[in-house]
Structure 1
Amino acid sequence: MAQKVLDVKNLSIDFDTLNGTVKAIRDVSFHLDKGETLALVGESGSGKSITVRTIMRLLADNETITNGTIDFEGKDILKESKKEMDKIRGGKIAMISQDPMTSLDPTMNIGNQVAEPLRVHEGMSKHKALEQAAEVLEEVGIPNARERMRDYPHQFSGGQRQRIVIAMAIIDNPDVLIADEPTTALDVTVQAQIIKLLKDLKDKIGTSIIFITHDLGVVANIADRVAVMYAGKIVEYGTVDDIFYNPQHPYTWGLLDSMPTLSMNSDRLNTIPGTPPNLINPPKGDAFYARNKYALKIDHEKQPPFFKVSDTHYAATWLLDKRAPKVTPPESIQKRQAEFKKRGEADHD
C-alpha cells in the first residue's frame, strides 16, 4: 500500500476584497503518495496556486483558512508554529515558482543563493555548502556550473534561471516538491527539458511532486495522478490514464478539447464557452452548470457528490448518477482519446 506523505482534508479558504468575501477554496481534499507526481489542473482562478501556497503557509493578509487540515509527518501544518514552519518550508517542503526572477535575488550571485538553504536548514559551512551547490547546479544542467557560480541571475537565460530555481529547491532533498506552473514562460523545447529534468530528479532523490498547470499536455508527460479543479473545488481525480482515456466530468472534457493535437485541421483552438462563477456568491448547485451543455436540472439546485468510477477514479457530476440519462463524451474527445492511445503505444514501443 502506498505511503501518504501529505494529506489535505476539507480545506476551505476565504479572502476578503473590497467587493466582499471570496470563497476561493471550497472543501478541497487530496493526498500525495511517496515518490509520485500529482498534477493539479484547471483554468486560471480555479484555486490551484492558493491551495499549494497554503501548504507552504504563504497566505496573504486578506486570506483566511476557515476549515480543514494538512497532515505532514503526522502533524497538521496549519497548527505549526512559525519556527516549525521555517524548518519545514524550503527544507522538507520546497517550491518552484512560475517566474524564476521573482525567486532569485538580483543582487546575489547564484552560487550563494543555491547554497543558502543548506546554511539555513543544515547549518553547513559556507565552503561545504558552495561545493554542494556547484554539484547540484551541474546536476540540473547548468553549463560550466563551477565557473558560473559568481554570476548573477540576469546573466542567464530564462531556461537556465528556471534550472537554478530547481537547484535551490532540491538541494536540501525535500520530501515534497511543489512546482507551480514552472514551464509556462518557456518555449516548447526548454519546457520539455525542464519536464525531463524534474522526472529524473524525482527518481534520483525520491521526492514527491505536486505539479500545478493549466496545460494537460504537460500533465501527460509527468503526472501519475491528476486532480482537476474548477471554481475552488476538485471536480474529478484519478490516474493520468483515467483522466486522458476515460474522463467523466464535462469540465474535464472541455479542458481536453482545448488541447492542440497533431491531427487538428483547424488553426483555431477550441475553448470552453462562458466564464467561471463569481465566488463571492458561489452557486448553490454545480459551479459548472452555466457552462455545461450537458447540465441537468439538479445541477442548478444541488452540488453533486463524488461518484466512484473505479478504485482510482472519482468525478463530481450528476451525469454519473444511476438515474441520469446516458451521455457519452463529445466526438472530438473520443478522437483525442484515440490519438492519446496511439501516442502512448508509440512511446511504449
Structure 2
Amino acid sequence: MEKLNKDKLLLEVKDLHVSFDTYAGEVKAVRGVNFHVNRGETLAIVGESGCGKSVTAQTIMQLIPMPPGKIKKGSIIFDGNDLAKYSDKKMESVRGKEISMVFQDPMTSLNPTMKVGKQIMESLIKHQKMSKDEAKKRAVEMLKLVGLPTPEKRVEQYPHEFSGGMRQRAMIAIALACNPKLLIADEPTTALDVTIQAQIIELMKDLQIKLDTAIILITHDLGVVAKISDRIAVMYAGVIVESGTSNEIFYEPKHPYTWGLLKSVPRLDLERKERLLPIYGTPPDLFSPPAGCPFAARCDYAMKICKEKYPQKFGITDTHHVHCWLQHEMAPEVKHPLAEGGTN
C-alpha cells in the first residue's frame, strides 16, 4: 500500500462515485475512483473517450450539472477540505484561484466578444482584488510568460485574431493568472497539430517548474504524457485499472488494457517495423456495468473469474497498483506483449 506524505499531499480523491440520471436510466460514469496528487507534481489520467476521466476532473471543480449529475459517494479532499461538500458559492472562491482548468477547445472556452487581456484580468480583479491597471499589467506578463510575442498588442486582441496554438496559450495564461495550487488540463492538445502539441506540453512543463503548480493532465494519448507526467493513472469504464510512476507504466505495465494503449502508440526504439494495433471491441454499457472486470470482454487473456468478480487491488511496488486477476498467484504467467520475449 502506497504511503501518502501528508506534508506533500495536495489532493486526494477517495472512492468517488458519480452518476447521471437520464430518460433511459442511471449512467454510472465514475465508479469508485481513488487517486492523489502531491504539490508540484503531474498526474496523468489516461483512457479512451467515455472512460470517465473528464467527468472526474469536472467533478473536482464542481462543473458537472447537478442534476442530472450527482456525487453518490466519496470525498475530494483538497488542501485538507472536502470539496464534495462545498456549496456553489463556496466553490467560486476555489475555482480560478486555488484550482484552474484548461479545456480541450479554447475557441469554445474563450469569450469571442471579449478581448483576451480582459478575460485574464477578470480573475485577477475578482480573486486578487487588483485594480484594472494592475490586472492589465499582470495580463501582459502572463501572455509573455506563456510565450506569446508582442503581449502588449495581444491583450487588446479578440480570440478570433489568435491561431489555435495561441488561443491555447491564452487559456493557460488565464488558468495560471492567480498562481493556483492545481491546474487541471483536460485534453489540452487534442485540437492542435503535433508540432504545436509538443510546444504546449513543453510550455506546461516549464511553467510548472517556475510556478510550482501541480497538474492533472487528462488525455487519451499515452504518447503525450511521456515527457511531463510523474505518475500515470489508467482509467477504463469509470474505474482506475492501473496506476504507477511513469517508468512503471511505460516499462512494466501489468494490465492488458494498458498494454493495448501502449501498442497503439508509435515507437521509434524498435528495430523492426511494428503495426499499430487497435483495441478491438467497445467499452461496456455504463447503464449496467459488468460485475467482473470491465475489460474482460475485450481482453485476450480473460479467465472465467474475470467475468464474474471485479479484480482485487494488487500491489506490484509501493507506487504501482493494478486491478487484474492475472496478478493472482493462481493465474497463468503472461508476459506483456511489448516485453522482450512476450507475445505480440
The two structures have a TM-score, normalised by structure 1, of: 0.93
* Offset at residue 305 of structure 1 (A): 1.1
- In 1, distance between residues paired with 2:285 and 2:205? 37
Letter matched to residue 41 of structure 1: V
Letter matched to residue 283 of structure 1: P
- In 2, distance between residues paired with 1:192 and 1:135? 23
Runs of 4+ in 1 over 6 A off after TM superposition: none
Look up the SS of the partner of 1:209 in the other structure.
strand
1:41 corresponds to which residue? 46
1:91 corresponds to which residue? 97
- In 2, distance between residues paired with 1:140 and 1:329? 40
- In 2, distance between residues paired with 1:73 and 1:233? 24
* Offset at residue 260 of structure 1 (A): 1.5
- In 2, distance between residues paired with 1:191 and 1:336? 34
* Offset at residue 46 of structure 1 (A): 0.5
- Aligned with residue 55 of structure 2, among 50, 70, 74: 50
* Offset at residue 265 of structure 1 (A): 2.9
2:80 corresponds to which residue? 74
**1:63-106 Cα deviation digits (max 9, x unpaired):** 11100000012111011122220000111000000000111111
- In 2, distance between residues paired with 1:317 and 1:158? 40
- In 2, distance between residues paired with 1:73 and 1:193? 31
- In 2, distance between residues paired with 1:328 and 1:135? 51
Moved more, 254-263 or 53-62: 254-263
1:62 corresponds to which residue? 68
Moved more, 11-20 or 209-218: 11-20
What is the aligned-residue RMSD (CA, Å)?
A: 1.4
- In 2, distance between residues paired with 1:20 and 1:255? 30
Letter matched to residue 333 of structure 2: K
The reply to whether residue 315 of structure 1 matches residue 322 of structure 2 is yes
- Aligned with residue 200 of structure 1, among 203, 206, 213: 206
Letter matched to residue 19 of structure 1: A
The reply to whether residue 4 of structure 1 matches residue 5 of structure 2 is no
Distance change (3 Å), C-alpha of 1:336 and 1:9: farther
1:344 corresponds to which residue? none
- In 1, distance between residues paired with 2:315 and 2:155? 52
Look up the SS of the partner of 1:39 in the other structure.
strand
1:265 corresponds to which residue? 273
2:121 corresponds to which residue? 115
The reply to whether residue 278 of structure 1 matches residue 285 of structure 2 is yes
**1:168-214 Cα deviation digits (max 9, x unpaired):** 00010000000000001111111111011100100011110000001
* Offset at residue 38 of structure 1 (A): 0.1
- Aligned with residue 224 of structure 2, among 213, 218, 224: 218
- In 2, distance between residues paired with 1:82 and 1:274? 40
* Offset at residue 154 of structure 1 (A): 0.3
- Aligned with residue 187 of structure 1, among 166, 182, 193: 193
- Aligned with residue 325 of structure 1, among 328, 332, 341: 332
* Offset at residue 155 of structure 1 (A): 0.3
Structure 1 unaligned spans of 5+: 338-349
**1:112-158 Cα deviation digits (max 9, x unpaired):** 11111100111110000000000110010111010221110000100
* Offset at residue 336 of structure 1 (A): 12
- The percentage of aligned residue pairs carrying the same residue is 55
* Offset at residue 334 of structure 1 (A): 2.1
Letter matched to residue 38 of structure 1: L
2:133 corresponds to which residue? 127
- In 2, distance between residues paired with 1:34 and 1:138? 25
* Offset at residue 335 of structure 1 (A): 5.9
- Aligned with residue 21 of structure 1, among 11, 14, 26: 26
Q: How does 1:281-296 map to 2 (within 5 A)?
A: 281-296=288-303
2:312 corresponds to which residue? 305
Look up the SS of the partner of 2:310 in the other structure.
coil
Look up the SS of the partner of 1:196 in the other structure.
helix
Distance change (3 Å), C-alpha of 1:51 and 1:172: same
The structure with the largest helix share of the pair is 1
Structure 2 unaligned spans of 5+: none
- In 1, distance between residues paired with 2:233 and 2:123? 30
1:228 corresponds to which residue? 234
1:345 corresponds to which residue? none
- In 2, distance between residues paired with 1:118 and 1:154? 23
Letter matched to residue 16 of structure 2: L
